[in-house]
A and B are shown apart, each in its own frame.
Chain A
Amino acid sequence: MGKISNIITSGLLAVACTALPAFAAEKVYVYNWTEYLPESVLQQFTKETGIEVVYSTYDSNETMYAKLKLIQKDGYDVVFPSTYFVSRMGKEGMLQPLDRAQLPNMKDLDPNLLDKNYDKGNVYSIPYMWGSTGIGVNSEMIPVASITGWQDLWKPEYKGKLLLQDDVREVFHMALKIKGYSSNSTDPKEIEDAYLLLKELMPNVLLFNSDSPRLPYLAGEVSLGMIWNGEAYMAEQENPAIRYVYPKEGANLWVDSYVIPKSARNIKNAHAFINFMMKADVAKTCVEENGYATPVLTALPLLDEAVRTNKTVFPDKEQIAAGEFQTDVGEALAIYQQYWEKLRAGN
């Protein structure tokens, strides 16, 4: 099959090349989360470097991972996994070590976000943005002051009203935190406890969101539930009544990083792309458009005062300290997944 498709592709390419002799051959294949990189940044990259960006998106780490597993060669050049997938993919030999010489802009990154457990010495990954999963509230419908923690979502008055993320680790984070466990627990007993607690939450759930979580809030479908801080920030721009609450039990903190898969075909262009993304003005645009925090320190002074002091985007030290960063749970993920299916199959 590979041969046939190769013949067809090369045939098409030959036609394309003769038809468009001036067509730029340099490309970089970027595979990213949906709505996570402003269009203008991609255009600016092509304008500055002449490299065309072929852009595709995914909606969960698992989907991205499964797809990369299937591609042996000539795949995506830059991908944006979360921490625990960086360590998993690194361990499984799916990633290309980064060449520091081609990434001079790395000097501007916040050292607090480098050299972490999931990738000691940043061999494979460089942080792109970091953020949190907390609680979204429409203050026109529900007084913001009445919502202080994850536990509030369990109140019977919110029956059939909540939005939860369609992500096993994020949903279990809430229950594990309420129980006082680590949200990276690998103890089957603790995971079971969390499952039993989540089972009580299920009657309150209206939907598991699989697209942008802000849209149901803006459409008036939900007034309470989980949301990413960046999505809450974007929603707030459209409807100031939508607020973001850092739950007192601790928000779920995450970092998404650039990596270059082993199957990448344009390794040099991938480095050029990552280096470009770490430029101060580019990082600034990303913060303004996405509403997540950037590790690029030189971007911070460029930001508007209102954005820099916005607690949704840049949480306080105490809020960070209360939260917990996601890490790889290894084999225990299968336990989570089993309970996750039970939650969704039952009731």
Chain B
Amino acid sequence: MKIMRTKTAVISLVSGWLLLFGVVPILMLLAASFLTQDATGFFRLPFALTSYRQLFLDPGYLEVLLRSVKLAAITTICCLAVGYPFAWFTVRRARKQRLVILILLMIPFWTNSLVRTYAIRMVLGTNGLLNKMLLAAGVIEAPLKLLYTDTAVILGLFYLMLPFMILPLYANLEKLDYRLVEAARDLGAGLMAIFRKVIVPLSIPGIFAGCIMVFVPTMGLFYVAALLGGARQLLIGNLIQQQFLNARNWPLGSATSVILILLMTVMLAGYALVMRRLASRGQRS
């Protein structure tokens, strides 16, 4: 009886929390996105589709969205390319070493990501650490222009997001039954074949989870583009921030957020669909 009561209390606390800080704000956002901009307040009646019309008809906004998707996609691919071998390498270590690697991976989280972004700036700057080292080593003659480029933005995003790729992959690969790899080898499969036909198919849930965990937050990391890219080109995160703080067009800012939320929902639904397919295929075989 007592356990039951505690359970109910915990569940209602969690769902109450989600309702209050998850569902209610999103509903408010949704409502605001259909209101009209107000010069002195934040929004006012009547309900209108102005914001959505503006978003879809103005080619500028579409370009911002496409640019953000492109940047997030590049970041995700880079994270996957580095994160996958890293996770595989980690899984293959002895238990103690694995623990050390995972702890080292977590330590940067103790520092706020904004502070770490500033740190990258000091490394990449014209008189920064990297240029100074390369100059001293005689590799280059004049300092490289690294900061305030797209490369710097991608590098920053890659650095911040890499652990979010590695951790789901690690969790997935750790569960992988290594006997299957050995069986494939016994049956004469080459290294490439084992990787392509055994390891990758078994780690698809991890790959999808990692990609989503990198792609989705990357779309919103507006300060990385602002600090490392010189804020020259807006990303969707910057656009939302500008609408709320500078332009005070809350309906447009809300509409942009709603579009972003929808985009992410579609991706998560796709993820769930793929997972269900995989699960049912697993049952059949």
Contacts and interface: CB of A to CB of B under 8 A. Distances in A.
Interface stretch (A58-66, A106-114, A142-150, A176-184): A58-66
B234 A344 contact: yes
B148 A207 contact: yes
Instruction: Tell me the interface secondary structure of chain B in the complex.
Output: loop
Interface in B122-177: 125-127, 143, 147-148
Nearest to B229: A207
A346 B227 CA distance: 19
B42 interface: yes
Given A221-B148, A342-B60, A346-B63, A205 B232 contact: yes
Contacts of A342: 60
Contact of B147 (A92, A221, A346): A221
Contact of A210 (B147, B231, B248): B231
A60 B246 contact: yes
Contact of B126 (A207, A208, A220, A337): A220
A60 B125 CA distance: 25
Interface of A: 60, 62-63, 65-66, 69, 92, 166, 168, 202, 205-210, 219-221, 331, 334, 337, 341-342, 344-347
A21 B60 CA distance: 59
Interface in B209-244: 226-227, 229-234, 238-239, 242, 244
A342 B229 CA distance: 18
Given A206-B230, A207-B232, A219-B126, A341 B242 contact: yes
Nearest to A202: B232
Interface of B: 39-42, 60-61, 63-64, 125-127, 143, 147-148, 226-227, 229-234, 238-239, 242, 244-249
A341 B247 CA distance: 10
B126 A346 contact: no
Given A207-B148, A341-B239, A63 B245 contact: yes
The 4 closest A-B pairs by CB, nearest first: A207-B230, A345-B60, A208-B231, A62-B246
Contacts of B63: 345-346
Q: Which of A202, A337, A347 has the most CB of B within 10 A?
A: A337
A207 B231 contact: yes
Given A219-B126, A345-B61, A92 B232 contact: no
Contacts of B127: 219-220
12 contacts: A63-B245, A66-B245, A168-B246, A202-B232, A208-B230, A208-B231, A221-B148, A334-B249, A344-B231, A344-B233, A344-B238, A347-B233
A94 B244 CA distance: 19
A219 B128 CA distance: 8
Nearest to B243: A341
A95 B38 CA distance: 20
Contact of B60 (A206, A221, A346): A346
Contacts of A341: 60, 234, 239, 242, 247
Nearest to B145: A160
A337 B246 contact: yes
B61 to A, nearest CB: 7
Nearest to A168: B246
Nearest to B39: A331
A207 B149 CA distance: 9
Nearest to A161: B145
Contacts of B126: 219-221
